[in-house]
Homo-oligomer: A and B are copies of this chain.
Amino acid sequence: MKISPAAEFAVRGALVLAEHYGDGPTTLDAICEARGLSKQYLVKIFASLARAGLVTPVRGKRGGYLLAREPGEINLLELIEAVEGPIAVNFCQHIPPRCEQSECALRTMWSDIQQFICSKLGSTTLGQCLEVGQTDPIRRAT
């Protein structure tokens, strides 16, 4: 029961763009340096975020990436689903469900868990994250 590393890195990378919102494009190198992330990995993640319209690539010598909307207008659920696809905590929460059982106490429980997760992530924006001081570089423990 965990978020994929790609989705976690998408959130961390987008937070760097949010920190620099209004300052012009930020390069992937700068994002990797700020958050201790692998560039090879981040290239794919940011391609997914760009396809989802959450970040905007800027070509050229001073190119990089911009956040496509204000930090307060981008929530974490959008970022995660852009790289992970729709959240489905288990088989029965897939769309369409990967389980045919219609009446199941487990399904209600999984549905509650899924709704809580989506609500939490969907109601948390990059802007809110910035406000509460989580913008220091995130370093993985050795």
Contact = CB atoms under 8 A, between A and B. Distances in A.
Interface stretch (A26-34, A47-55, A80-88): A80-88
B98 A141 contact: yes
B91 A106 contact: no
Contacts of A38: none
Contacts of A136: 101, 103
Within the oligomer, what is the number of copies of this chain?
2
Interface residues of A, number: 46
A84 to B, nearest CB: 7
Nearest to A114: B1
A87 B89 CA distance: 13
A59 interface: no
B3 A89 contact: yes
Choose among A103, A112, A113 the residue with the greatest number of B CB atoms under 10 Å from its CB: A113
A104 B124 CA distance: 13
Contacts of A139: 99-101
Given A1-B84, A104-B134, A141 B109 contact: no
Contacts of A84: 1
Centre residue among A8, A80, A96, A132 by max chain B CB count within 10 A: A8
